Amino acid sequence: MRVFSKNKINFYPTASVDSPKQSQKFLPDWYKKLPKQIGIRHDMRSIKACVPFLDAMASGYVIPLWADLNIFVDREKNGSLKVSFEWNRNFRVYQGPTIDPTQDTFLGWHDHAQLGRSECPFGKNHQVSYPKFNNPWVIETPRGWSCFFKNHGSNIHSHLRILEGVVDTDKFFSPVNFPFIWTGQEEGKFFIPKGYPLIHVFPFKRGGLKMKVHECSEETAKKIHDTHNKLSSVLMDAYKRFYWHKGRGE
């Protein structure tokens, strides 16, 4: 039964898979282990000291990969790569109006012509079709709110890249699926574990701002200068101390 609240984002499952969670729960080990200070000077700090980078990873919600996924990359005789996939899954599909009862995996395909093989530099990795994750979640947002679906900020080292998109989830009550590409050029078998932060979900309110381009007046220049001086007055964490809005989760 749908239980809708105007200040909530709702996730409805179409299979018995692990639930989405707040994105801050998916901070990667490489980031947690990274020291803030990497030298003796105050400006020799790692990306762990960058609050905007942390907020990009910690804001919003994550749909985790619902099963282990093996990716096989082989080289063809013509030198191009062939990428194939194999699930190691252990979940049950809910049969109902929001799911195709004939669907036995959560992997679909898009013809090359839909994206343009020649225009995509990684199209040669997918000889027949572009792969697509068939998402096991329906997402519902309050009226006037949409969702931006993107790659999680922690996955900067990954060769698996979804094609990002925006959906009006206040009206579209159906799973949003995610075409993706494999950008790696190495042969071999690659493993993406269950629980990997696959989809980063950013809800946002539509139509809230209008754009205006201004001249840089003396008043504007002074404001920029004052902000710079304020940042320069503190050796470390000036943005966090003066401008950061704490608490981006629920």
**pLDDT on residue 126:** 64
Domains of the chain with CATH codes: 10-205 (2.70.40)
CA distance 235 to 237: 7
**pLDDT on residue 178:** 92
Which of the four pLDDT bands, split at 50, 70 and 90, describes residue 1? very low
Residue bearing the bigger pLDDT, 142 or 237: 142
**Quick check: helix, strand or coil at residue 132?**
strand
CA distance 72 to 67: 16
**pLDDT on residue 49:** 81
CA distance 200 to 12: 16
Which of the four pLDDT bands, split at 50, 70 and 90, describes residue 229? confident
**pLDDT on residue 100:** 46
Residue bearing the bigger pLDDT, 206 or 41: 206
Contacts of 119-123 spanning 24+ positions with Cβ under 8 A: 120/181, 122/181, 122/182, 122/183, 123/181
Neighbouring-strand partners of residue 99: 96
Q: How many residues does the chain have?
A: 250
**pLDDT on residue 45:** 76
Which residues 6+ apart lie within 8 Å of 124 measured at CB? 80, 81, 117
169-191 tens-digit pLDDT: 999 999 999 988 888 888 999 99
Q: Looking at 81-95, 127-141, 202-216, which range is the least confident one?
A: 81-95
Q: Does the pLDDT value for residue 129 go beyond 80?
A: no
Q: Does the pLDDT value for residue 249 go beyond 90?
A: no
76-112 tens-digit pLDDT: 887 777 888 888 866 666 654 444 444 446 777 777 6
pTM over 0.85: no
